[in-house]
């Protein structure tokens, strides 16, 4: 009888210990999920460089390994439109051709900034007609400096590297609304897609 009692007590202690381990693991997972699913307002608490500030000169690279400088002095009146995209982002696929069309209409130099593994970015670039003839650069430094947490995000720089616009965009209306306060300084740049007759409206 006493043996059964000891066995029962040991089993009970073991069950309590096991339950405690499970609760600790569950609490940890809840904490991780809470951090990952933090609302946008929490992420915006650390905005990085913002409108009106000057982006430092950064030397990044295109997918083919060529150096590409961001934040450098541009010709007078020229403005650079950075669009942060990711291969696994379906909204980016919808926004990228719109951004190219608007950049051409407003005379802005468009640059795609890719996030993620280079093989996936390369496959995306090859599959998207609107990305042909437009630089696609990589490097986490730029996203860290600007604290880009969501995509697609848009950043507009003037010829001195000053940030004129920084916003998360999902539609044409949002892109145009973000740029409406900034007048184009130069006439529209020629778009190779128009010259070759390529269609910018891509099904995905």
- Is 161:71 a contact under the CB 8 Å cutoff? yes
How confident is the model at residue 9, as a pLDDT? 77
Look at residue 50 in the predicted model and tell me its pLDDT: 93
Q: pLDDT value at position 204?
A: 30
CB 88 within 8 A of CB 186: no
Write out residues in the chain with pLDDT < 70, as ranges: 1-8, 16-17, 19-47, 183-204
Nearest to 106 by CA among 200, 178, 198: 178
Q: Taking the model in full, what pTM does it have?
A: 0.67
pLDDT digits (tens, 9 = 90+) for 22-35: 555 555 555 544 44
Q: How many CB atoms lie within 10 A of CB 63?
A: 18
What are the residues facing 81 on neighbouring strands? 110, 156
């Amino acid at each position: 009888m006493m043996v059964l009692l000891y066995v029962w007590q040991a089993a009970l202690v073991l069950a309590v210990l096991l339950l405690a381990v499970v609760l600790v693991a569950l609490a940890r997972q809840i904490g991780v999920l809470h951090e990952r699913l933090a609302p946008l307002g929490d992420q915006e608490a650390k905005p990085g460089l913002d409108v009106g500030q000057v982006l430092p000169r950064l030397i990044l690279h295109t997918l083919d390994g060529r150096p590409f400088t961001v934040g450098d002095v541009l010709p007078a009146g020229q403005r650079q439109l950075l669009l942060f995209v990711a291969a696994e982002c379906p909204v980016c696929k919808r926004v990228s051709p719109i951004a190219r069309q608007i950049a051409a209409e407003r005379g802005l130099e468009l640059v795609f900034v890719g996030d993620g593994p280079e093989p996936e970015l390369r496959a995306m670039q090859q599959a998207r007609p609107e990305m042909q003839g437009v630089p696609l650069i990589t490097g986490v430094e730029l996203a860290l400096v600007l604290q880009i947490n969501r995509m697609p995000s848009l950043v507009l720089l003037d010829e001195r590297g000053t940030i004129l616009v920084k916003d998360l965009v999902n539609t044409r209306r949002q892109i145009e609304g973000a740029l409406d306060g900034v007048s184009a300084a130069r006439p529209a740049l020629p778009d190779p897609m128009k010259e070759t007759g390529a269609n910018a409206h891509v099904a995905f």
